[in-house]
Every structure is written in C-alpha cells, then in structure tokens.
Structure 1
Amino acid sequence: MTTRPELRGTFGAVASTHWLASAAGMATLEAGGNAFDAAAATGFVLQVVEPHLNGPGGDVPILFFDAAAGHARVICGQGPMPQAATPAAFRALGLPRIPGSGLLPATVPGAFGAWLQLLEEHGTMRLGQVLQYAVGYAADGYPVLPKAAEAIAVLAELFREEWTESGRTYLVDGAPPRPRSRLRNPALAETYRRILKEAEAAGPGREQQIRAAHQAFYGGFVAEAIDAHLRGTDVLDATGRRHRGLLTGDDMARWEPRTEATVSRAYRGLEVHKPGPWSQGPVFLQQLALLEGFDLAAMGLDSAGHLHTVIECAKLAYADREAWYGDPDFTDVPLAALLSDDYADDRRRLVGDRACDTLRPGAPEGRPPHIPPLDRAEPPGGPYWQGQLYDGLPTVVPPVVAATEARGDTCCLTVTDRHGNMVAATPSGGWLKSSPVVPGLGFPLGTRGQMAWLEEGHPNSLAPGKRPRTTLSPTLVVQDGRARLAFGTPGGDQQDQWTLGFFLAHADFGLDLQRATETLALHSEHVPSSFTPRTHRPLGVRIESRRSDEVAADLTRRGHVLVSVPDWSLGKVCAVGVEPGEGLLLAAASPRGEQAYAIAR
C-alpha cells in the first residue's frame, strides 16, 4: 500500500515540494506554456512560499531535456564567490573557516538569472505570465508552512534585535506568524513588480524583456541595493561577531548563467544525467558505477545485504567527492577516470561484509587524493539562536526537538509536458536563516560560500570568481533518445543518497514512481558535511524507524552504528516521468513533510 497512487495523464505532469508551486506549474501548462515555462513559474513560487529554504538570493541547478534538440543540458545557477573573497581576506579577519551565516559567505545570487535563462532560451511565455503567481502570493499572502513558522519563532529574537529587516519581513506585529496563517511579503512583491515594469519598458519583444529583467536584477536596482547593504552594514553572523560582506554590484554585473553539458553514465539500459563536479551530482553516477557490479534485485529490497551494499558504495563515492570535486574552470577534476569501469571495478573490491570506518578516497590516474583536516572549533555560545546560525544548514531546530531529528532541507521541482520536454531543478540558498533580508528587496542572500575550503590547493579551495561546490543535485534520465524520468529531493549532502534509494527501487526493483518515493529511507554520515561545521560520524547511519528489527540487528552486526529517526522524515522525493510504450505522463511526490504535491492531467 502507498499513501497515494502514481498519477498518470496525457497533457502534463508537475511535482514539487509545495502544493501551491505545483499548482502554478500546472496552471502555466494549461495556459499554453511548455515544461520550461511551467518550471520557471514553479520555481518563482517556491521562492515565495518556502522562504526558510530558498529565495531569489539563492542558487539552482536546472537539468532539462529539450525534445526538439534531442539532448539534455544543465543551466548552472550557482553563482561564484566575489572577487574580494580570498583565503587571505578571511585569515585577516581571524577566521579559520567561512562562516555559515551572515554576509561573508554570500555568492552572486544565481537562481533568478538561471530561471530567466531557461525561460528566454526554451520557454514560450512572457516573463509577466510566468511571474504572476509568485507576485500574487507575495502580495496577497500564502499559508505559512509549520516548519517555516517554527524557524521564525526560534529566530524571532535575532530578527527583533539584530536582523531588523528580517523582522519587518517575517514577523507579524513583532511576533512569529502562526503555522498555516496568512503571511505577506510586500517588499518582495514590489521587487518582482519593478523588475517586470523595467522589463516591459525595454520593448515589446519577449526575449528583449527577459534580458531587461536580468539587467534590472544584476546591473540595476537589485544589484545596487545589495551593494549598498553589504558596503555599509556590519551584520552579526555565525562567528558571534559583526562583519561586512565581500559581494559587490560589480560581481553581480559581470555574471551570466551558463548552459553546460551534463555528466552522464549508463545504468541498466538507462542514460542518467547529472550536473558537473561544481555540484555533488557525479557522486550519484559513481554510486551507480559501483552498484552495477552487484545483483541488488537478488538481495531483496531493503534487506540487510541490499542496504549494507548501498551504504558502503556511498562511502566510497562521497570520499571521492571530498577529495576531487570542484569548479572545473579552476581545477582539473579527473571525472572521466572517476566514472570509468576500470576505476569502479577497483573500488568495488573495497566493499566487504563489514562497515568501514575509514575515509577512503581513490587515486584516479594515479594522483594522490587529499582531504583538508577538519578542525573542531566550538560555536561562539550565547542565546540558542546563535547556535542555529553556527550550523550552516537551512534547518532551524527548536530546543525541544530530539537529536534524532533529520537535518538538511531545500526545495525541488520536476515538470514534463506532452511534447517530450522535461525539467528537474533543486532551488536552494537565500533562506531566512542564512542572512538578513536586504532592505527594500524582501529577500536575503545565500551562504553557499561556506562550502569552500580556506586551505589552498584543494579542488574546492576558495578563489575569487570560483563556484563553491554545491550539494544541489537534480537528476534526469534518458532512454532511447527521449526523456524518461526527472527527480530530485531536498536534503543537502543526503540528496544523492535519498534519490539513489528512490531510483534503485524503480530501476532495480520495479516499483512505480509513487511506491519508489515511499520506500525506506536512510543515509550514511561517514563523510564530512559540506556545511559548516562539517560534522561527520564515520560509522553512523540514520535510518527511518520502520525498518525491521532483523535488518537493524544485521546492519549493527556488520558494524554500522544506527540512529533511528521518525518514520517518513528523510527526504521529499518529487518525480515526473514518461511510461515507455504508451507515452503516458507520470507524477509522484513523497508524503514526507506533508507538503510535496504531484499533479498530472
């Protein structure tokens, strides 16, 4: 039994982490738009209705399949570090790492520009048609998710005393909003409206207006407001001290989103596509390369053998992520070797019957791996909310929540249309905990810079103009030259473990998309987190409590240290697909979190 059926239709399918965003995507399809128009509309609404997890100041990788062109591509909406961001600049401030909140970790906001590029190059609608739903929810209000209300309540003292623009945006008469109450963001609505006004004033052409919107954001009033805010404001951050930011209007003006080739690998007759090594995306493909040498179906779904094999392969792939991934514009990532059959064969031999407690990156092309040492600095102390700032994850944990609570969250969306186009994206960054709201704009900046190392010489070391390696990692699958499946999940570092479980349940065990989203979820905590303070537990595995006692005992016997988390708490996988043969369009959304929603018609 599942909580809901796999949805099927012939016109279009949308699945995202919020029902209002999914509805906006379907409304866009019904108004005559294609999957690219619908994805942009969905993404813009997520910026409004999930402010604790993403915003216009954040980032997004957008994977898409253009049926007319017959290929998959990725738009990189991960903005680079500012030109002033160097290891020396942080050392001069007495900082051993980039903090996880405040202004110092801000990169160029990439999400807004990436959605504009998708719309300009592949959409059919005008920006005003696509942005209308986000404007409406920002101006007229939307129901506050319980998790968002909870986060605002924890941070309310900070918003009242320090981040006062955030207080004006998220507090209602000085108090946190009630869960599911109506919350408005008139400043964000006005930002969208002003962008649209300047776009429409540029001329009648659709593409002309979209380019003008990009200029308004990256070279006009939005960039000017961000520049003035960062130059003139000392902001309390994760360090317990006040700092000004490094990002400037010039950093924003010089940036353009890029459409790039995906990274792909075959698995069981399917062609699986991911973003490049500026994301963690290839780690999904490395796991598949290792797992292809095992008969998972013979082990049985969610058996101890199945789960142990997946966990140990994840450890090996993620260790390579830590040692080798970074912005390929700045570092030589040996990606072909990492994804080769010979390398997978060698690494697969390391998978034994016992859980390994050692971080074991490989040596592709004979090159020695290196992972910077982890320092164990303590948080600065102070009120409870200060500790929440120290942890760079978007999740805000109330004091009464148990330590077993799942951590790490963001957003995701997937769309397909009757023409064969398909999109998967994971918007994140610029969440309400990351940084104070920029005065007059209604949104904060992101903190993706925290993921770069200050130690020089590593593939993910900090450098001006360099993209910090992001955890954001949507997936798109092609079969026989056509888009077959698109999926993603919130979850930080865990994204490519939780979506792997979904994909294996579908590809190896034959479950339909909805059943695959509802299978048992777990993840290894073996590899250091990408977020400050980079915590890890070498043998730790978080697993939903609905696993059987026999499986738990077997995994423990093999050396895994299990932490049971509440049922239905790990991930929110969203997926759309096309059924081979009949061509029916499919949609599914995990029931976890009680907010993800799928629509097909």
Structure 2
Amino acid sequence: MAITGKPMAATAGAMIFQQGGNAVDAACAMLAATCTMWDTLSWGGETQALIYNPKTGKVIAINAMGVAPTGATVEFFKSKGYNFPPEYGPLAATTPGTPGGLIYMLMNYGSMSLKQVLAPAMHMAAGYAIEAQSANTMARDHDMLATWPYSKKVFFTHPGEKRETPEPGEIFVQKDLLNTLTKMVDAETAALKKGKSRKEALMAAYDRFYKGDIAEEFVRGSKEQGGLITMQDLAKWKPIEEQPLSINYKGIEVYKLQQWTQGPVMLQALNILENFDLKGMGYNSSKYIHTLYQAMNLSFADRDFYYGDPYANTGQPMKGLLSKEYAKQRAALIQYDKNDAKIGPGNPYTFEGRINPYIRLLKERGFEMDTTKRNFAPKHDLGMNSPKDADYQDRLWRGTTSIEAADKDGWVVSVTPSGGWLPACIAGNTGIGMSQRMQSFVLDAALNPFNVVAPGKRPRVTLSPSMFLKDGKPFLSAAVQGGDTQDQNLIQFFLNVAEFGMNVQRATEAPNFNTNQLWLSLGGSKISDREPKPGQILLNSNTPQNVREELKKLGYTLSFTERTSGPINAVYFDTKHGTLWGGSSNHGEDYGIGW
C-alpha cells in the first residue's frame, strides 16, 4: 500500500514495490517525489517517521528535524523587531533534515540503493507536467518569489510575460535540483565502484550533501540572501533514532513522536477521553463535540507551555503529562454546561514527585495553578474576538504532506514531512527550498520555557504521524496535513474507527471539527496573530441545526466550511484476512495505490 499527497508521488511508491522494494524504500521514493513536486514541502525541509519493524515487533521513531543555525538567538531576532522568528525567507530556515532523514531510513531499514529510490524524483526534476495546484500556488506567490533571485530562476519559467510562473500542464524543469540529486547518486555509485558496502555508499551521498560541494553551495546561496546557516551547522547535524511515546487506549497501543513535536497532545487527549462514554454520547452530538473540544483544549494548553526539544532541555514533564492519574485530574476540570475559556497548563510535575520549576513564570503570565480558583488563562488570552479570516485559517492548517506505506512482510511507515513550502526561498544553485520551521520557536520564555530559540535547537513542531498496535500487531497507521489541526483530526479519525466502527476510508472522510483555543505554531509575526481564540470552533457545513443551537448555548462561536480537515491518509490492517485497507480522504489531491 502506497499513499501520499499526489497521485504521481503515490505512483513512485507503487513503482518501488513493483521492483521488489519494501515499505521503507517506497516511503523514501514517495518522500523524494513529493519534495520534487513542491507538495507543501521541498528538499530543504524536515522529515520524521514512525516505522514498525516486523523483525523486532517494535515501533521506532526517526527524528530528522533540522536545528536553528549559528547566530539564531533571541537577541538577534528581537533586534530586528520580531516577536517570533519570521515566516518566510532565509531567516526562517532551520538546517535541512529531509535528505539526511531519507538516507538514514533507507540505510538502516530499506533494501534498495539511493539511485533506485530517487529515480522517479529525478525523472520529474528533469521535467514533468506540473499539476494545477502547484502551478497556481506559484502564481499566487509571485511577488514574494520575485524577491529571491534563485527562486526566480526556478519558478519564473516565462520571465517578462503576463504569467511568469508555470502554467498548469506545462513541462516544469528543475535543472539545479536534478544536478543536486545526481551528485548524491554519483557519490553513492562511486563508493560502490570502490568496493564500499551499501551503507558506506549511502553515507557517501549523505556526506556530499551535508559536508561536500552541495553543502558549500547551499550555505553560499543562503548567506548571499541573508541566511545564517554555516558549513559547521550542516556538518554537525545528524538524524536521530528515538523511542516513540505511547499510551494504551482501551487495549490499543497508540504511538507518537516525542515532545519536540505536538504528537503527545493526542496521547494526553485520549487519556482524558478514556474517562468518558464517547460512544454513548453519539457520533458528533453536541455533547461529544463539547467533550472532545474540552479535552483537546486541556492537552493543547500543556503543549503550548511544556513541549520542546528534549536534546536541548531534558526537563519536560512527559511522565506526568502522560500519566493516567494526571488525565483524570484534567478530565475533572471539564464543565458540562459551558466552554471553559480559562483552560491553561496543568501541573504534571506533582505526578512525577517533582516541584514545578515554572510556578513563578506561570503566575507572571497570569495563570493560577490552584485548581479550586479556576483562573487558568493568561490575562492577554481572554476577551478576543472570534477570527473568521482566511489568514488565520491558513496559519492553522499550513504546511506538510503525509506518507503511508505498508508491505507484505509487515513493514509499516508513517511520515509527515514538511518545510520549504511555497513560497520557498531557494538556496543558491541547489534547487532546494529552505525550511520555514524557525517560526515555530518562541522568543519569550513566558510562552514556553522549553521552546525558546537557540543555535543547535529543534523547534517544537506540529508534525505528527501516528501508529496503532492491537495485540502486539499493527492495527492502524495514519497521518494528515494541517499544522495545528493535525492531532485534532487524527484523534477524531482514530475514534471514528475505535469507538464508532467506521472503515478506514469512511473514517478519513467523516465530518469533524477544529478548535482554535490554542497558540498557533505557524504564521504571523505578532502575539495577536498567534494567541488562542477561546470558544471558536470550525464545524462541517452539514452539522445539524439542533447541534449548532446546543453548541451556541454552551458558549461556542461557530463557523462552517465543507473542509474541516486536511487530507488524512491511513492504512488499516485486517489481521483476520491478512490484507491491507487503504484510506485517503477527499480533502486534497492525496491518493493511494494498493497491490
């Protein structure tokens, strides 16, 4: 099963399967293809994955998130007048993670060569018929792309004409990117000719990107445009293999990435929701929506204050945050008669036998940790108008694609790669769009003491694939595009299957909702662009009138759209019949191919 954000990219995964590759090989081919097609990401972005290894029966996590470069300090950004690092351009860029993450996965868990896996992407870099979505995005972003010389070189295929960017259906050629990918493959081929092992040959390609002539041109092009990334930044960075975090929800093991992502939000929310009879409430009833909204708000409040790079600061209280006892305490805060606009971070340290070192900081921010007083919201978070503007929703849903792959031998891969999306600033003559993930850092410890920008540190990102095991075997694998809504959508998708018995395709397309009562992780340079919107809820347009009226009585401000979720991609494992069921929602161009 091969599923991802574009039909041609899914075809790349299917081609690899037809050639005898495993799910990791196929996932890498799809990753390369989506990057080449600018499917809300490019080669300079970031990658992370959950991989089920059938040989060990374990789920492992791949952290290929880039880091803040040399010189990326709070003082630097504040001196330029920023409240957050910028959304676009060279100063938004972390070090590239995707090339290293792809090679690491392929080297340790794949079976093919880089040359084989990159072949579809290289064919497309040489020229492919660009689809309307990407072409029209380039046209929409024309003015910003025009400010970066190397982006103009790639994207302005008709300079001086009325439409300078590609037209839908034209053959879009990326000579610089093809040259970069060719250099990586050449390094692998040369190493093999010298008698090097498969792993050594893949490392030769890795080193050419991060330490060789590709790195030199990337750094030169970045610095020319005002960027901070150095050769040392690239050489020091490495992908990391991690243990994922997990909880048990009614007999199902749920796996997410560590707290440098927002993934534990889903684990926290499910721990809270385990205390309620969700099925008895009825699917998408007002009581069900209200309960999920409150549980997610409680979890996001903790995300917004306690999550961050565990390699830069090891003090995050994850044991307490994911304890069932803490979840019961949080569940007890849910009020059944109204939305609680004063939800804020809890005190998980008490469930670890530790004293919260940030009590003073929380009080300065306006939180009251005494649950009996129930003053949980930052003073500047209250009383805001409900946003219905397109810019806010764009920031809520921004970025990312998703990849799902599974094979006959039991390998399963779930990836949510991102970064370097349009409008992308391309680094020199590499053809590679730089990441924009720096914007997910904060510059003020009062917002999150674990996520303050610093050189060599990973931002706390929204990227959040999921994997689910039942009786020790794969049950579901899923991921979704959509910024801060990713885990909101994945929680509802999972409950659609686990509580309401939907099949995987129906579960991906079923109506859901979004809460805006959280700090946005992406977009906007001012505090007011990012701050929570208490009680604001986005509902599907087909929500029944009686549910709408009941939610209004609970204090919600309602808005509606036909699309309340990014495209969810998923695989269900039918252990009874030994088959795979693929699901890909109708909310984008995502596509799946099974064989």
What amino acid is aligned across from residue 145 of structure 2 in structure 1?
Answer: F
CA distance in 2 between counterparts of 1:473 and 1:375 reads: 30
Q: Which residue of 2 aligns with 1:281?
A: 263
CA distance in 2 between counterparts of 1:402 and 1:507 reads: 34
CA distance in 2 between counterparts of 1:168 and 1:231 reads: 17
> Does 2:442 align with 1:453?
yes
Q: Which residue of 2 aligns with 1:598?
A: 592
- For residue 91 of structure 1, report the CA deviation from its aligned partner: 3.0
CA contact (8 A) 2:536 2:556 kept: yes
> 1:410–1:404: structure 2 CA closer, same or farther, 3 Å change rule?
closer
What amino acid is aligned across from residue 17 of structure 2 in structure 1?
Answer: L
- For residue 439 of structure 1, report the CA deviation from its aligned partner: 2.2
Q: How does 1:334-345 map to 2 (within 5 A)?
A: 334-345=317-328
What amino acid is aligned across from residue 209 of structure 1 in structure 2?
Answer: A
- For residue 256 of structure 1, report the CA deviation from its aligned partner: 1.0
- For residue 407 of structure 1, report the CA deviation from its aligned partner: 3.8
CA distance in 2 between counterparts of 1:15 and 1:158 reads: 32
Structure 1 unpaired stretches of 5+: 1-12, 234-243, 377-396
CA distance in 2 between counterparts of 1:154 and 1:416 reads: 36
- For residue 484 of structure 1, report the CA deviation from its aligned partner: 2.0
Moved more, 346-355 or 479-488: 479-488
> 1:513–1:153: structure 2 CA closer, same or farther, 3 Å change rule?
same
| Alignment equivalent of 1:224, drawn from 197, 216, 221 | 216
Moved more, 13-22 or 272-281: 13-22
| Alignment equivalent of 1:64, drawn from 34, 41, 51 | 51
Q: Which residue of 1 aligns with 2:399?
A: 409
Q: Which residue of 2 aligns with 1:509?
A: 500
Q: Which residue of 2 aligns with 1:428?
A: 418
CA distance in 1 between counterparts of 2:297 and 2:564 reads: 22
Q: Which residue of 2 aligns with 1:29?
A: 17
Q: Which residue of 2 aligns with 1:131?
A: 118
> Does 2:279 align with 1:297?
yes
- For residue 250 of structure 1, report the CA deviation from its aligned partner: 0.8
> 1:36–1:52: structure 2 CA closer, same or farther, 3 Å change rule?
closer
- For residue 206 of structure 1, report the CA deviation from its aligned partner: 1.9
Q: Which residue of 2 aligns with 1:263?
A: 245
- For residue 52 of structure 1, report the CA deviation from its aligned partner: 5.4
- For residue 577 of structure 1, report the CA deviation from its aligned partner: 2.5
| Alignment equivalent of 1:557, drawn from 533, 553, 556 | 553
CA deviations on 1:419-453 (whole Å, 9 max, x unpaired) are 111000001001122x4212211121112111111
- For residue 402 of structure 1, report the CA deviation from its aligned partner: 9.4
Q: How does 1:41-440 map to 2 (within 5 A)?
A: 41-49=29-37, 51=38, 53-146=40-133, 148-160=134-146, 162-174=147-159, 175-204=164-193, 205-233=197-225, 244-331=226-313, 332-353=315-336, 354-366=338-350, 367=356, 368=358, 407-433=397-423, 435-440=424-429
CA contact (8 A) 2:397 2:481 kept: no
What TM-score, normalized by structure 2, do the two folds share? 0.89
What amino acid is aligned across from residue 534 of structure 2 in structure 1?
Answer: P
Identity of paired residues, percent? Answer: 31
How much is the aligned-residue C-alpha RMSD, in angstroms? 2.1
Q: How does 1:582-593 map to 2 (within 5 A)?
A: 582-593=577-588
- For residue 183 of structure 1, report the CA deviation from its aligned partner: 2.1
CA distance in 2 between counterparts of 1:500 and 1:347 reads: 17
- For residue 500 of structure 1, report the CA deviation from its aligned partner: 1.1
CA deviations on 1:124-146 (whole Å, 9 max, x unpaired) are 10110000000011112133242
- For residue 375 of structure 1, report the CA deviation from its aligned partner: 12
CA contact (8 A) 2:247 2:254 kept: yes
CA distance in 1 between counterparts of 2:176 and 2:393 reads: 37
CA distance in 2 between counterparts of 1:71 and 1:251 reads: 32
CA distance in 2 between counterparts of 1:137 and 1:86 reads: 38
Moved more, 341-350 or 576-585: 576-585
CA deviations on 1:435-486 (whole Å, 9 max, x unpaired) are 4212211121112111111124701111221111010000011122222211
Q: Which residue of 2 aligns with 1:488?
A: 479
| Alignment equivalent of 2:570, drawn from 568, 575, 582 | 575
> 1:340–1:404: structure 2 CA closer, same or farther, 3 Å change rule?
closer
CA distance in 2 between counterparts of 1:230 and 1:578 reads: 44
Q: How does 1:509-528 map to 2 (within 5 A)?
A: 509-528=500-519
What amino acid is aligned across from residue 49 of structure 2 in structure 1?
Answer: I
SS of 1:202's equivalent?
helix
CA distance in 2 between counterparts of 1:375 and 1:560 reads: 20
Structure 2 unpaired stretches of 5+: 351-355, 366-377, 381-387, 525-529
CA contact (8 A) 1:142 1:184 kept: no
- For residue 404 of structure 1, report the CA deviation from its aligned partner: 7.0
| Alignment equivalent of 1:471, drawn from 458, 462, 468 | 462
> 1:187–1:64: structure 2 CA closer, same or farther, 3 Å change rule?
same
CA contact (8 A) 1:166 1:432 kept: no
What amino acid is aligned across from residue 323 of structure 1 in structure 2?
Answer: F
Moved more, 261-270 or 352-361: 352-361
CA distance in 1 between counterparts of 2:284 and 2:81 reads: 48
What amino acid is aligned across from residue 226 of structure 1 in structure 2?
Answer: F
What amino acid is aligned across from residue 319 of structure 1 in structure 2?
Answer: A
CA distance in 1 between counterparts of 2:129 and 2:255 reads: 35
CA distance in 2 between counterparts of 1:407 and 1:536 reads: 15
How many residues of Structure 1 are paired with residues of Structure 2 in the alignment? Answer: 551
What amino acid is aligned across from residue 487 of structure 1 in structure 2?
Answer: A
Q: Which residue of 2 aligns with 1:236?
A: none
